Amino acid sequence: MLILILSTPRSGSHYYSECVQEQHPNSIVMHEVLSRAYKDVYLKTIGELEYSNQYEDGYYYEDLQDDMLIRRYSPRPDKELFFNMMLKELEFSNKTYILHEQVSLLPDHWIEKLIKFASNSTYLKRENRKEQLASRLIAGYTSVYVVRPNYKLCHGDRSNIHLYDIEKFTESIATKKLVSALLTIYKDADNRMKDMETVVYESIPKKNNTHATKLFASSFDRLCEQDQNLINSLIDSN
């Protein structure tokens, strides 16, 4: 059985996936396995850090084999072939899989096939755009996108990784072009998913025993005043 969760960047997908998994004991959660395949991205683990990049020696991709999520340290097959192979593995599996993917990172024909194939499909949406934008800006600037106990998932330029847990940024990390582009991604996803069952992140009951940790209560409050004003003005003008 496949439970499909589609979302936009920084919408609380890791937390929501944990909540869904609690309702389905022994299920397997897969985060952006297909998004990485479509974008030709691989992973490499060094200590508590996991890096994403194009394929090099030592990098791996995630795949399904015998009802298990495994690592393969080699280039993937053709992306369309990989997608169809993944669907076939899911079709003949007795396991329950919770697949989370970002709407903006997958082509329409993959999303359409996944929705038809899945037993349940939801679109996870975050209503507080200020917090969502701030969270994404900080992740992009520091390269740290996921934080769990003894684990960090990093993507992109890591020169500012030491700032991932800073309480307050004193200088601007945003541009009008970047914030506008993110707002467009969110709006486009909302339009594409308008007929889907929608779960609002802010309405999900909060629990204490979670691995999807938040370093600070508010990402927006961590930004400098200049970036806060930029976000407010762009949200108001859209």
Q: Which of 53-57, 164-168, 209-213 has the lowest mean pLDDT?
A: 209-213
Q: What is the pLDDT of residue 148?
A: 87
The CATH number assigned to the domain holding 175 equals: 3.40.50
Burial pattern 163-181, b for ≥16 Cβ within 10 A else e, equals: ebeeeebeeebbeeebbee
Q: Which two tokens stand for residue 59?
A: 């990098």
Mean pLDDT of the chain: 94
Expressed as residue numbers, the domain containing 196 is 2-237
Q: What is the average per-residue pLDDT within 70-99?
A: 95
Q: Is 115 exposed, middle or buried (0-12, 13-18, 19+ CB in 10 A)?
A: middle
- Report phi then psi at 135, rounded to 5: -60, -45
pLDDT by residue (tens digit) across 201-238? 999 988 766 666 677 889 999 999 999 999 999 998 87
CA distances from 58 to 52, 65, 168, 209 (A): 11, 20, 36, 33
This prediction's pTM: 0.93
- How many domains is the chain built from? 1
Q: Which two tokens stand for residue 167?
A: 């309480």
Share of the chain above pLDDT 90, in %: 87
Strands 120-125 and 198-200: parallel
